[in-house]
Amino acid sequence: MSYTRRDAIRTLGIAAGASAFHIPDLAKLLGELPNPLHKTLDRPITAITLGAGARGNVYGNYAISNPDQIDIVGVAEPIPLRNERYSKKHNIAAENRFITWEHVFLKPKFADAIIITTPDHLHYGPCMKALAMGYDVLLEKPMAQTEKECRDILALTKKTGAIVGLCHVLRYAPYFIKLKELIHNGSIGDLISIQHFEPIQHIHMAHSFVRGNWHNSKASTPIILAKSCHDLDIMRWLVGKPSVRVAAFGNLKWFNKQNAPAGSTARCHDGCAIESNCPYSAVKIYLRERTYTYVFDLPEQKELVPDAIMNYLKTTNYGRCVYRMDNDQCDHYVMSLLFEGGITASFNMEAFTGYHGRRTRVMGSMGDLTGDMDQFTHTDFRTGKTTNWDSKSLDEGIYKNHGHGGGDYRLMQDWVQAVAQKDSSLLTSTIDASIESHLMGFAAEKSRKNKKIIDVKL
C-alpha cells in the first residue's frame, strides 16, 4: 500500500487533535496545503549570500523561484566567474558585490539576513560578525570547526535574539518527517533502539573526502561532522531525547599510499598503468562519465568542455590519484550511542558501497520500521499487519524532486517565514536544536582518538 496525498489529508485531520507537532509538519509535507503558521509577506525578505558555490546556488535558486518571499541583494565570492554569474542571476547592484565575506561587514547593515554557504572553516567568522551586526542568519552545516566555536554561536544567537537556521535539511524531508510521526504516535509502541546506516558510495567518497573540499579534517571538519552531522542530527530528532554517551571507532583504511597499485602515477592522466581499470580514475569519473563536474566552472559552449575538464584534472586535486592525496578522513566509521531513557542507537558511515541512500531501522516494543529513503515498511506486532510507504508519494507537493528528498526548499520556506515573522519557533532546525548533533560528533572524535566512552555534555 502506498501513501497518497488523500491519505495524508486524512492523517492531517486525525492528527489535528493529537499533538501540536504533527499539524505544521504534515502541512509542510504536503507542500500544496498552506502551513497554518505561514503568512503572506508584505515584502520579500532580503539576504546576502556569502559563497556562491553549490549550496549558495541551491538557496539562491529558491529565491529565483519565490521572488515574493526572498530577494538576494548582495554576494561575496572570490571566484570571479561565480561572482559574475550569481550577480547577474540575482540582479545584484555593483556596490553590493564583494570578493570576500569580510568586505560585506565593512558596510552598514543592508539586508535582513546573511546566507553562509562558504567552506566549513569560514562559518564561524562570518556567523559571529553577522550576529554582532544584527543580521538573521542561514548557516550551512557544520556550524563551526570546534565545540567552543559552536557554543559561541549559540550564546551570541541567544544574546542577540537573532533567527539562525542551520541547514540540517533532512529534518525537512517528508520521508524522515513521516518516520518521526510514526515513532511518536504509538505506531511502534515504546521506542527501544535505532540502527542507522549512511552509505556514502565509493565515488562520492573519492570525490568529496579524498580529493575534494573535505579531504583534510583539520582544514575542514572531521567526516563525522562534515558528512554525518546530518545523521547524528536525524537520530537525535527521531529519538526526541538527548544523547548521553557515545563510543566510536573508525580509520582511513583504503585511500592511502600503502594501497597505491604498482604503475599508478600522481595524476590519473599521467600514464597511470591501471587507469582504465581503476574505479576511482579521475579521467573516468569527470571526463568520460561526466559525473560530479558541478564543482567545475565549465564554459557554456559544449565543444570547449572536454578541454576545460582536462585543465581542472591537470591543475586541481580532482585529477590526483586517490592513493597519493594528502587526505586524512576516515573511510569507515562506527558509533554506538546511548540516549536518555535507555534508548540505544548504532550508526555506520561507510565509503565502500555501490549505492547512496540512508538506511534506517527503528525498533519499538509494538512494531518496527525499516526504510531506505525510497520507501519504508511499518510492521505492527499487535496485528501482524505490514504497511509500505513510498517516499515519492510522500513528496507530492510543490517541492517534489528538490534536493535532499525535498528538504532543501522546505527548509528555505520555513527560514524565510521565521525571519519575516521574527519567530524562531517556525524553524525545525534552530541553532538550539542543531548544536546537539555537533556535540555528539565532537564526542565521537574524542572517543575514537582516545579509545574511551565519552559523555555528551550539553
Query: Minimum CB separation from ligand NAD for residue 125, in Å?
Result: 9
Establish whether the linkage from the previous residue to 24 is cis, with ω within 30° of 0: no
| Residue 289 Cβ vs ligand NAD, minimum distance, rounded to whole Å | 20
Considering the complex, state which of residue 34 and residue 299 has its C-beta at the smaller distance from ligand NAD. Answer: 299
340, burial (CB in 10 Å: exposed 0-12, middle 13-18, buried 19+): exposed
At its nearest, how many Å lie between ligand NAD and the CB of residue 191? 26
CA distance 346 to 243: 12
Least distance from ligand NAD to the Cβ atom of residue 51, Å: 3
Burial tier of 334 (Cβ tally within 10 Å: 0-12, 13-18, 19+)? middle
Phi, psi angle pair for 82, to nearest 5°: -70, -40
Q: CB-wise, 87 or 118, nearer to ligand NAD?
A: 118
Tell me how crowded residue 218 is: count the other CB atoms within 10 A of its CB: 9
DSSP H helix total and E strand total for the chain: 16, 15
- Chain contacts with ligand NAD (rule: CB under 6 A): 50-56, 76-79, 82, 100-101, 117-120, 122, 140-141, 167, 169, 213, 226, 404
Q: Using CB atoms, what's the residue nearest to ligand NAD?
A: 53
From the CB of 9, what's the least distance to ligand NAD, in Å? 29
31: left (phi over 0), alpha (psi -120 to 50) or beta: left
Length of the chain measured in residues: 458
DSSP 208: I
Q: 171 or 178, CB closer to ligand NAD? A: 171
Which C-beta is closer to ligand NAD: that of 117 or that of 281? 117
Considering the complex, state which of residue 22 and residue 358 has its C-beta at the smaller distance from ligand NAD.
358
Q: How far is the CB of 416 from ligand NAD (least distance, A)?
A: 17
Judged by CB, which is closer to ligand NAD: 38, or 404? 404
Q: Which is nearer to ligand NAD, 101 or 323 (CB)?
A: 101
Give the chain's radius of gyration (CA, Å). Answer: 22
State in angstroms the smallest separation of the CB of 445 from ligand NAD.
16
Contact at 8 Å (CB) between 71 and 137?
no
The grid coordinates listed for 242 are 538527548
Rounded Cα distance between 236 and 296, Å, is: 35
